Amino acid sequence: MGNIDDDKKTEGQVLSEKLCFELKNCWDAASGEDLDAIESFAVQYKHFLDRGKTEREFVKEAMALLKERDFQDLDVLLRESGKLLPGARVYQNIRGKSLAFAVLGRKPFTEGFNIVGAHVDSPRIDLKTNPLYEDADIALLDTHYYGGIKHYQWLTIPLAMHGTVICKDGSVREICIGEADDDPVFCITDLLPHLAQEQMAKKASEFVNGEGLDILAGSRPYKDPKAKDKVKLRLLSILNAQYGILEEDFAGAEIEFVPAHKARDLGFDRSMIGGYGHDDRCCAFAALQGALSFAEGIPEKTIVCLLTDKEEIGSMGNTGAQSRLFENFAAYLGAKTLDTYSEISLRQALSRSAMLSADVNPAFDPNYDSVYDKKTASYLGKGIVLTKATGSRGKSGGSEANAEFCQRVEAILNSNKVQWQFGDIGKVDKGGGGTIAQYVAKLGVEVFDCGIPVLSMHSPFEVISKIDLYTTYKGYIAFLREA
Ligand code: MN
Ligand code: MN
């Protein structure tokens, strides 16, 4: 039995509670109903992740949800007369690889939007334009990796092929091999330890170079004593029979090799999810579902969900956030809601808009503690991560939210009991990174980086916590409603 005085808080304890920021574990506050909601959200997410392993697939899955809720194509509406009214649900699909959608609010267009923006591309292995060759009766596919990967992590794991090929005759072939249980898979081979003495002495970055990531694709020759490159020939004949593809069709094709495994519960306690492409599809899914929760009513301010492509290679191109895709979307909305659309009304709307740049953050990893600053790192299970500044080496190349906007977002999360945590990207000068934040901030929009902590980021098997996923979803809803 303890002394009664032990239960009484000391002056110092009371003061500490009042003044100090204390990081709690979200699981401590979660009970009955919450736990059910957290689990069912995780189940939906895993399912979505398995079907959306490329940017095109993610957009396609998202489009299906928009169609179910009667969202209308803004490109079509723009050609028709008539104005959109509050409560209208519209989308713009940008070349099947990026997506913007909105639910129009009561407030006028010039009051701006509340936006959550995420990216739907992930690091992977792309095919070169003329990929198929054979050597020693083995057929290989030559590749060029996409995004920041550690090459060696992609060796000797089962890979699936996902792609879109536009054939010579103009027909479109969607290819997916390696996802069904009885599908064949692919892999990149590695050297046996017995012969790896030289290889093992190399730096990890040189262990296997980018050019060495060729994919094992076949080994059975075409039966014809006079034919050349018989294994390659037989593979081409299979591809032609199944998909109508010619070798030259590879030239413009988008073929991506991704880990063939499915998203799985992780740990004895099933508190985590392991899978490919959490960066950034966990935030994209939370943003998508968060924004869709407004599909039934009329929000105060117009809410926008932005899902972009090409973030992992710098947001370039006409489907990336550096393009004018979001400006175009906003302009279209203005044209369909204002009596007289003007450039100034668009600029006004943009500068009064607020966005959460929804992207993942490197969670503290006890195995690699030396690169993290424990005071500012994010932690698994401790909620949605707020990253005030991105970039590297003196905050270069990133974006920084201003103090007023930080307070506004924190206040919204606090009043909605959404637990948040800090999340700088590692120790100063240990590296860094950027998100789509800077490209939207350039338009005058207030932007704050805000997402989910991830372990093993950019690896074939990234890890998140189920409770962070759910907390982030709740946070995005609160922001979309109240920012
Ligand atoms: Mn990301
Ligand atoms: Mn990334």
pLDDT tens-digit readout, 151-162: 999 999 999 999
Nearest ligand to residue 361 Cα: 1
Q: Is the pLDDT of residue 403 over 70?
A: yes
> What is the pLDDT averaged over residues 403-430?
92
> What is the pLDDT averaged over residues 56-79?
97
> What confidence category does residue 3 fall into, taking pLDDT thresholds of 50, 70 and 90?
low
> What is the pLDDT averaged over residues 88-114?
98
Cα-to-centroid distance, 122 and ligand 2 (Å): 7
Cα-to-centroid distance, 46 and ligand 1 (Å): 18
Cα-to-centroid distance, 119 and ligand 2 (Å): 9
> What is the pLDDT averaged over residues 112-132?
97
Ion ligand 1, residues whose Cβ is below 5 A away: 279-280, 359
Nearest ligand to residue 360 Cα: 1
- The phi, psi pair for 83, rounded to 5°, reads -105, 155
Cα-to-centroid distance, 458 and ligand 1 (Å): 9
Cα-to-centroid distance, 9 and ligand 1 (Å): 43
Nearest ligand to residue 123 Cα: 2
Q: Is the pLDDT of residue 427 over 90?
A: no
The larger pLDDT score, comparing residue 431 to residue 442, is at 442
Threshold 0.85, pTM exceeds: yes
Cα-to-centroid distance, 283 and ligand 1 (Å): 9
Cα-to-centroid distance, 360 and ligand 1 (Å): 5
* Full DSSP string of 337-373: H-SS--HHHHHHHHHT-EEEE---EEB--GGGGGGS-
Q: Encode pLDDT of 206-240 as tens digits.
A: 889 899 999 999 999 999 999 999 999 999 999 99
Cα-to-centroid distance, 251 and ligand 1 (Å): 28
The mean pLDDT value of the chain amounts to 95
The candidate with the shortest Cα–Cα distance to 145, out of 119, 127, 164, 121, is 127
Q: Encode pLDDT of 309-361 as tens digits.
A: 999 999 999 999 999 999 999 999 999 999 999 999 999 999 999 999 999 99
- Please answer whether residues 331 and 343 qualify as being in contact, where contact means their C-beta atoms are separated by less than 8 angstroms: no
